[in-house]
Structure 1
């Protein structure tokens, strides 16, 4: 029997009887991967990220991912838009190696993982080289401060092509104070906004994820509304008008005045289903 005082491993790949696996990082479920069914997206916020990507014009998408973990969304993009060139900025090379050993990527993919943090990795990317940037990165269960500042959003905008979309997965308490600061920051650079979340999070009933989509051009809001209405999970869409009301209460985040997302529920309250 293992020693109860022995510290938990920093990350684990926990398999289930259905053939999938959950990547657990710092005691919290980070990604769910079904290698034989990349269209299966178990986490609600990943489904919401996919709804926005699916609403973009048909064909291959050049996607930059800030944060990798189980590489769930890159696998989904490859399955739905084969041959899409994707760059993943994931500084934890040990985690990436373990995931790729346990959950190999599909043959012929164009997913390139770079062992570098998001802000550093962005400096090496060409101007107007991405149709979408997905920021889904956590450290100790919190979004790092440097990924949501005005300077970071300006860097994202440089890499995005005209009409490209920035997607941020952020978490917040029911008071939405952190979300307000993120929105106030993003709209300075990318003025068109929508956000997706679950109904209970939108109503302020619990801590949870917000998927914020932002662009310099108009977003496909009508198409997203239709997608949300037919989605298998209950999802709430907040449009630009609703988000402006939230953002007015927030102070912009900067490198000199940044903030991590609020601490999530303690790891012991999470469990792998």
Structure 2
């Protein structure tokens, strides 16, 4: 079925519904268990937040890129009292996911129709515990959502102790490298990347999850994050954002 910017398909899979946009897997919603996250990168993001801001503490979270809002739905279930905002550029998709899925209602989860690159500078300064960037167009992160201006706007939106989490593709290597370089310039070399070795080195397509803090991570925090992602069903590890094995700009 057409949305504003893509063609959406819904497929029943196991206990949930898989949403594809233009043939690309975009979101998976478990109809029985809202806390269940199927996509590896979302499991990794949740593990990071659990390690540094343990559940069930509520979150103030903004999701730049909404799709079916699977991560926001899970955090609402796991962290009662959370208030979240999803920014989705596709107006029809934003309306339909409310119809298709049991998403939390406002003010627990608000969905704003806007371009993430334009919305980021307007986010409430210091108002968010977590800023998630999960923006893709035809399988790539738009250049406007991975430059220094965008990352800087996300950092300014973080409250003390806040976390910036970004999902990026490991290929093309130059684009991924530019993304990581922008994070390094804004947050410093203390930022982390979560990935398995094959994806980190570009030997197979996969996701890289970038993790940065409003303040530099302590050695103990870095160790806690690494331990958390190694315990996942499909283990990953942490890398420093400037590790030479990672993509370079």
> TM-score band, normalised by the shorter chain?
0.7 to 0.9
* Residue 176 (structure 1) aligned with residue 143 (structure 2): no
Residue by residue, what CA displacement relative to the aligned partner does 1:61-88 show, whole Å, maximum 9, x if unpaired?
1111000111100011111111111111
CA contact (8 A) 2:121 2:154 kept: no
How far apart in 1 are the matches of 2:137 and 2:85? 20
Q: Which residue of 1 aligns with 2:162?
A: 164
TM-score (norm 1): 0.80
Call closer, same or farther: CA 1:249–1:92 in 2, change over 3 Å: closer
Unaligned runs of 5+ in 2: 1-5
Aligned length in residues: 238
CA contact (8 A) 2:126 2:159 kept: yes
Q: Which residue of 1 aligns with 2:150?
A: 152
Call closer, same or farther: CA 1:237–1:32 in 2, change over 3 Å: same
Q: Rg larger in 1 or in 2?
A: 1
CA RMSD of aligned residues (A): 2.1
TM-score (norm 2): 0.88
Q: Which residue of 2 aligns with 1:43?
A: 39
How far apart in 2 are the matches of 1:89 and 1:107? 15
CA contact (8 A) 2:200 2:247 kept: no
How far apart in 2 are the matches of 1:222 and 1:153? 24
Unaligned runs of 5+ in 1: 1-8, 251-273
- 1:74 pairs with 72, 75, 87, which one? 72
Residue by residue, what CA displacement relative to the aligned partner does 1:104-152 show, whole Å, maximum 9, x if unpaired?
2146870110011112222332110011110001111211110010110
CA contact (8 A) 1:65 1:136 kept: yes
